[in-house]
Chains A and B, each alone.
Chain A
Amino acid sequence: MPEIKVTPLGAGQDVGRSCILVSIGGKNIMLDCGMHMGYNDDRRFPDFSYITQNGRLTDFLDCLIISHFHLDHCGALPYMSEMVGYDGPIYMTHPTKAICPILLEDFRKITVDKKGETNFFTSQMIKDCMKKVIPLNLHQTVQVDDELEIKAYYAGHVLGAAMVHIKVGSESVVYTGDYNMTPDRHLGAAWIDKCRPDILISESTYATTIRDSKRCRERDFLKKVHESIERGGKVLIPVFALGRAQELCILLETFWERMNLKAPIYFSTGLTEKANHYYKLFITWTNQKIRKTFVQRNMFEFKHIKAFDRSYADNPGPMVVFATPGMLHAGQSLQIFKKWAGNEKNMVIMPGYCVQGTIGHKILNGQRKLEMEGRATLDVKLQVEYMSFSAHADAKGIMQLIRMAEPRNMLLVHGEAVKMEFLKGKIEQEFSIDCYMPANGETTTVTTNPSVPVDISLNLLKREMALGGPLPDPKKPRTMHGTLIMKENVSFMLVSSEQALKELGLNEHQLRFTCHVQLQDPHSDADTLHRIYTHLKSVLKGYTIQHLPDGTVIVESIVIKVSSSAEDSNTKVLLLSWSYQVKTWTLFLEGLPMQSKPGSSPNHLVIESLF
């Protein structure tokens, strides 16, 4: 039985370090290659030694697919391809290909330049790694090799995020990456067709959440920002440079415009302008409204939002600052946070998920005293707010996607075990399909039952379809008979027996049987034969029954002759001759005009034994 195996190297019952191995139809595919934000040691990257202890990965993987540019999905890419060693194809969408190297470089700078780590990937490695990338277009079917094909679907979440359908023969897997089932201010909703994969591998970040309407959340957010500004506070919004940042910028920009607010909004780091530029150039990946109006008004040209300079943090008066990174684990957002944390007028709004171990995660859990480097502690007096703006599907969205794709099995990754358990129960209950949630390094095996594609001769097919009557009734299946020719286990042809002989250059071997049956009949030979003929005619409707002048009756390949016994003219000898393949036997025997109780007459016994 063919099997599909799925092994998470990361993101198994966890968020972060997404890296999932799939074996399908003899092909090995790696899905995502991310880093973990919560760790600074070896656990930061997936454990590639699971694949091979020594040597390069190229021999073990047919391809690597990156779903989107977030570092927990692509952060280990240069490490994997350049330091561990992988030269095979890497697939990602155009926007991901454009943005991913910038985030990687940023990540490298923070790690190497600021934290002083050595033995990390270099800028050159990022460049070399990106050279191996083959861009994917939405819905394009990419033939990785003769058997393996992949197809990307729109996933929402961030610019260029994709879900991917992986197919070998008639087996298939869908990997969602991170996705969002509700359109937001700048992106559309994820969509997939009814592709009925054997396994749907879905993220489950918000497995237990059913979020209230987006409008309410937006209103709450604006209200909080507004109140804080009104009382002269400073608002820090830690974000990643691309993704939610643009969403919230659009939100604030329109709000500032509507309310005619004057307090400055800043966006930290030089990435901003560049980031917005990507959104302008990849406008086809945003939502319908933005695409429609971009010629008249490009939503990514902000009037109220200006570049941030480090010195502005000490400026008096209210302001709103978007700063990177989003989980307050390093960089500018952390620096500003330290500066503003002591003042209760200020506020920090966490708009997305925070990985365990990050400061973001700590303050969201209500921690008010933070240990900083050098044994200093930081008192957190400012208001901490959490607003789920990350564009992940919630439980409702995940169920919706299952309904769309109709998978045979479900596998959850990229979520917390407890929450997964809950969702797993719901899925199994609602869809009655198996749902798996392997931990890292644990392999899930799913047995598939693929149909075998075969080429049927059109003659045979049409013959069988015609037998079903002029209008084929789909409810009434028809029986068909043929010969399957298998050549070298690669070509399968289903043809009629006659054609099979011809195709294979074989001669037919005729097998015939002849026997004599005695029966009592006082009529003349010719009359007996005629009685048999007329009787058969009345019984075997739709068959050609011939009565030849030479004293034979022929039905299909059955030949019947009658002669009188030499001793007794009332005893007739029936000569029956038929071929091995004769079809009408049953009917023929039913039709013979023998009058006798079943089992009692020797004649009937003989006849019946002809079965």
Chain B
Amino acid sequence: MKLYCLSGHPTLPCNVLKFKSTTIMLDCGLDTTSVLNFLPLPLVHSPRLSKLPGWVSKDGTINLEKAREAVCNVLRLLGVYFNLLQELLDLSTIDVILISNYHCMMALPYITEHTGFTGTVYATEPTLQIGRLLMEELVNFMERVPKAQSATSWKNKEIQRMLPGPLKDAVDVWMWKRCYSMQEVNSALSKVQLVGYSQKVELFGAVQVSPLSSGYSLGSSNWIIQSHHEKVSYVSGSSLLTTHPQPMDQSSLKNSDVLILTGLTQMPTANPDGMLGEFCSNLAMTIRAGGNVLVPCYSSGVIYDLLECLYQFIESANLGTTPFYFISPIANSSLEFSQIFAEWLCHNKQTKVYLPEPPFPHAELIQTNKLKHYPSIHGDFSSEFRQPCVVFTGHPSLRFGDVVHFMELWGKSSLNTIIFTEPDFSYLDALAPYQPLAMKCVYCPIDTRLNFHQVSKLLKEVQPLHVVCPEQYTQPPLTQSHRSDLMLELQPPPMPYRRCSVLNLPFRRRYERIYILPELANSLVPSEIKPGVSVATVSALLHSKDNKHTLQSVPKPPPMPPSKKRKRVIEEPPVALAPKPMLSGAVALEAFLATLQKHGITEVKVEETADGHILHLQAEDTLIQLEEDGTHIVCDSEPLRTTLRDLVLRFLQKL
């Protein structure tokens, strides 16, 4: 059993598990942090950005295209590590892909469309629907800006070598891929098979996979991958906090042989509740002072909780008249979809649906016109937009999407505030191309995933035999090297992996499930060996089909035709001649003598030896050697030998 680790990013994992002749990919996250190395992609012409010079090498011999064109290119990146991985593993051999949540499936089209993939993708319905929206948004962000000519010359190894870091150090840039198209997204998602929590899905009869609620986002799941005797748990992006999704199913993770642990919080020191409080107070302060608030965020996920929090906060903070805008090509869809997944929500929200009321209060915010959503800054928004206001929009990297426009618009005024809530990008790096910036910056990263304290408690409870995790979790963060509480300390220590690792999972498979057909089962003759333990010898036909094994009775050989072709018959292999069983136990002397007597053998001379006795059957000229662990019959007469054999066997257990 092997684990191929295709991604080193702990929260955007991509691993491949080979388990009992199946090849299972666990998640395929898309690491987009490299967009931070490039200039933003503005929606409307930005004089400032367009006046920036291109990059010129120190000696002036190389003059690169303007970097702003390069962002387009970088987003074409995104498949980075998959190419790399083809060296580790032929991706076309992947049988299934299991998706744990909608953030961890963004690279799906790269795998399903360009590697010869012919398998099935498994995901829950909310994961599929919201994942589709997020991909659609990404494609939309990329396609609606006029395509600059693609900047590729920097990818030349000679030139790349001279570029400033971190571009200089980026690996395999020539394999970075362009962003996928909507057509590829649709084709990729058509391969998704929907599953429900605790649904048992059989893979080729060999392995059973089952998603469990992970409590992190709508439809987010951990996975159990098991056969009858082995169990692997895949924990990815789980949360124990009470937010909108169904609570995490912890007990089903018990008794795992291996637990693969990914997607812990990226902000182990930030308390989500505290951050939420800070978010609200900063927002209120800015609005009261007449400024605008910009919240760069993903279009699904924490935004639902932010809106719910604001719903309760608006009245008390006197923000009843402040407009809230949610701008994204998928804003409407995201808000609508969130209301229809009652089955996947926490208990409180389910109860509301029974009334029937929409589970999320943002429905009411929309109804009362407090929250408005627009597909983009163009169109209705530009005419309806009032300030001061609060704007939720993407992308959180500040490199593309409508957020770029608001940065240009509001960046110069110190009245305005940008509040970062997503933990995926370093906010300082995200802001870099907008410097100098007058606008206030508040960093309130909200990451509800498990922290180290919660995860050690969880592991204590579910007690896996082995834990596999990204190497980042086995040491404190670089910036806080003294914080030994910010790492996993387990006994036995976890098996760390990094990008391109191939781990041999510590499994000793010893048993396999087999089914004894009723006819055979009825014909078995069990005998009790010790109290409560019986044995029966089995001779049967083994059928193996679709990884399922069954045993059935050996059919009686057809009555031998009374022909002379005896030779022919003998050439057939000796079918179904059951071997004699192994024997155990010992033959007790006195009892054996009594038995002999019963069978008319009376003249027995017993001689004691070092290891037992020798019985001399004088009339029959036969010797029987009785020892603790063996019996030896020396006898030339066949009928007598058979009789003696059967008498001896009476005393022994057959296995």
Using CB atoms and an 8 Å cutoff, list the residues of chain A in contact with chain B.
94, 97-98, 135, 137-142, 151, 170, 274, 277-278, 280-284, 294-295, 449-459, 461, 464-465, 472, 474, 477-488, 493-494, 497-498, 500-501, 504, 506-517, 580-583, 586-587, 590, 606, 609-610
Q: Which of B353, B530, B586 contacts A509 (CB 8 A)?
A: B586
| A461 engages B512 (CB within 8 Å) | yes
Whether, in the assembled complex, B580 has its beta carbon less than 8 Å from a beta carbon of chain A, the answer is: yes
Using CB atoms and an 8 Å cutoff, list the residues of chain B in contact with chain A.
125, 195-200, 210, 228-229, 332-333, 336-337, 339-343, 350, 353-354, 356, 358-359, 509-518, 521, 524, 526, 529-530, 532-545, 549-552, 554, 570, 574-587, 628-636, 638-639, 641, 645, 648-649, 652-653, 655
Task: Give the residues in chain A near B513, CB-CB below 8 Å.
Answer: 453-456
Complex: how many Å from CA A494 to CA B358? 56
Task: Give the residues in chain B near A500, CB-CB below 8 Å.
Answer: 535, 582, 655
Task: Give the residues in chain A near B653, CB-CB below 8 Å.
Answer: 506
A-B contacts, 7 of them at CB < 8 A, read A94-B342, A139-B195, A295-B332, A457-B511, A481-B538, A486-B526, A513-B633
Task: Give the residues in chain A near B578, CB-CB below 8 Å.
Answer: 481
| B196 engages A514 (CB within 8 Å) | no
Q: Which of A282, A283, A509 contacts B583 (CB 8 A)?
A: A509
Interface of A is mostly: mixed
| A278 engages B356 (CB within 8 Å) | yes
Quick one: closest B residue to A461, CB to CB? B512
| A504 engages B518 (CB within 8 Å) | no
Complex: how many Å from CA A453 to CA B517? 9
Complex: how many Å from CA A458 to CA B534? 21
Complex: how many Å from CA A590 to CA B570? 9
Task: Give the residues in chain A near B336, CB-CB below 8 Å.
Answer: 294-295
Task: Give the residues in chain B near A140, CB-CB below 8 Å.
Answer: 196-199
Instruction: Decide: A281 near B582, CB < 8 A? Known: A141-B200, A454-B515.
Output: no
| A506 engages B655 (CB within 8 Å) | yes
| B633 engages A514 (CB within 8 Å) | yes
Q: How far is the CB of A194 from chain B (nearest CB, A)?
A: 11
| B535 engages A94 (CB within 8 Å) | no
| A486 engages B534 (CB within 8 Å) | yes
Q: How far is the CB of A377 from chain B (nearest CB, A)?
A: 42
Task: Give the residues in chain B near A97, CB-CB below 8 Å.
Answer: 354
Task: Give the residues in chain A near B636, CB-CB below 8 Å.
Answer: 515-517, 606
Task: Give the residues in chain A near B638, CB-CB below 8 Å.
Answer: 515, 606, 609-610
| A451 engages B517 (CB within 8 Å) | yes
Quick one: closest A residue to B554, CB to CB? A479
Task: Give the residues in chain A near B195, CB-CB below 8 Å.
Answer: 139
Complex: how many Å from CA A137 to CA B124? 12
Quick one: closest B residue to A506, CB to CB? B584
Q: How far is the CB of B420 from chain A (nearest CB, A)?
A: 29
| A581 engages B580 (CB within 8 Å) | yes
| B631 engages A511 (CB within 8 Å) | yes
Quick one: closest B residue to A505, CB to CB? B530
| B518 engages A451 (CB within 8 Å) | yes
Quick one: closest A residue to B246, CB to CB? A137
Q: How far is the CB of A243 from chain B (nearest CB, A)?
A: 16
| B515 engages A451 (CB within 8 Å) | yes
Task: Give the residues in chain B near A478, CB-CB below 8 Å.
Answer: 541-542
Task: Give the residues in chain B near A472, CB-CB below 8 Å.
Answer: 544
| B197 engages A494 (CB within 8 Å) | no
| B532 engages A488 (CB within 8 Å) | yes
Task: Give the residues in chain A near B514, CB-CB below 8 Å.
Answer: 453-456, 461, 494
Instruction: Decide: A477 near B356, CB < 8 A? Known: A504-B530, A506-B529.
Output: no
Task: Give the residues in chain B near A484, CB-CB below 8 Å.
Answer: 524, 526, 535-538
| A455 engages B629 (CB within 8 Å) | no
Q: Which of B333, B350, B359, B544 contacts A135 (CB 8 A)?
A: B350
Complex: how many Å from CA A506 to CA B628? 12
Quick one: closest A residue to B567, CB to CB? A590
Complex: how many Å from CA A16 to CA B306? 49
Task: Give the residues in chain A near B198, CB-CB below 8 Å.
Answer: 137, 140-142
Task: Give the residues in chain A near B512, CB-CB below 8 Å.
Answer: 455-456, 458, 461
Q: How far is the CB of A298 from chain B (nearest CB, A)?
A: 9
| B533 engages A504 (CB within 8 Å) | yes
Complex: how many Å from CA A486 to CA B632? 31
| A511 engages B648 (CB within 8 Å) | yes
Instruction: Decide: A458 near B511, CB < 8 A? Known: A283-B340, A484-B526.
Output: yes
Q: How far is the CB of A459 from chain B (nearest CB, A)?
A: 8
Task: Give the residues in chain B near A142, CB-CB below 8 Å.
Answer: 198
Q: Which 9 A-B pairs have the closest CB atoms?
A: A609-B638, A510-B630, A497-B582, A451-B515, A455-B511, A506-B584, A98-B354, A477-B541, A456-B514
| A480 engages B586 (CB within 8 Å) | no
Q: How far is the CB of B229 from chain A (nearest CB, A)?
A: 7
| A451 engages B550 (CB within 8 Å) | yes
Instruction: Decide: A504 near B196, CB < 8 A? Known: A281-B339, A494-B514, A586-B577.
Output: no
Q: How far is the CB of B220 from chain A (nearest CB, A)?
A: 15
| B517 engages A512 (CB within 8 Å) | no
| A581 engages B582 (CB within 8 Å) | yes
| A509 engages B350 (CB within 8 Å) | no
Quick one: closest A residue to B358, CB to CB? A281
Task: Give the residues in chain B near A587, CB-CB below 8 Å.
Answer: 574
Complex: how many Å from CA A278 to CA B350? 12
| B635 engages A513 (CB within 8 Å) | yes
Complex: how many Å from CA A457 to CA B511? 5
Q: Which of B341, B544, B630 contacts A512 (CB 8 A)?
A: B630
| B511 engages A481 (CB within 8 Å) | no
Q: How far is the CB of A565 from chain B (nearest CB, A)?
A: 14
Complex: how many Å from CA A94 to CA B344? 11
Task: Give the residues in chain A near B516, CB-CB below 8 Å.
Answer: 451-454
Q: How far is the CB of B542 from chain A (nearest CB, A)?
A: 5
Among B516, B575, B648, chain A packs the most CB atoms within 10 A around the CB of B516
| A449 engages B518 (CB within 8 Å) | yes
| B551 engages A277 (CB within 8 Å) | no
Complex: how many Å from CA A504 to CA B655? 10
| B535 engages A511 (CB within 8 Å) | no
Complex: how many Å from CA A97 to CA B355? 11
Complex: how many Å from CA A582 to CA B577? 12
Task: Give the residues in chain A near B545, CB-CB below 8 Å.
Answer: 474
Instruction: Decide: A452 near B343, CB < 8 A? Known: A480-B551, A511-B583.
Output: no
| B337 engages A295 (CB within 8 Å) | yes
Instruction: Decide: A509 near B635, CB < 8 A? Known: A483-B535, A500-B535.
Output: no
Q: How far is the CB of B23 from chain A (nearest CB, A)?
A: 20
Instruction: Decide: A452 near B197, CB < 8 A? Known: A295-B337, A487-B533, A514-B633.
Output: no
Instruction: Decide: A453 near B515, CB < 8 A? Known: A98-B356, A474-B545, A509-B584.
Output: yes
Instruction: Decide: A486 near B645, CB < 8 A? Known: A506-B529, A506-B584, A511-B583.
Output: no
Q: How far is the CB of A488 from chain B (nearest CB, A)?
A: 5
Q: How far is the CB of A22 from chain B (nearest CB, A)?
A: 21
Quick one: closest A residue to B649, CB to CB? A511
| A486 engages B634 (CB within 8 Å) | no
| B538 engages A580 (CB within 8 Å) | no
Among A94, A135, A295, A586, chain B packs the most CB atoms within 10 A around the CB of A295
| B631 engages A477 (CB within 8 Å) | no
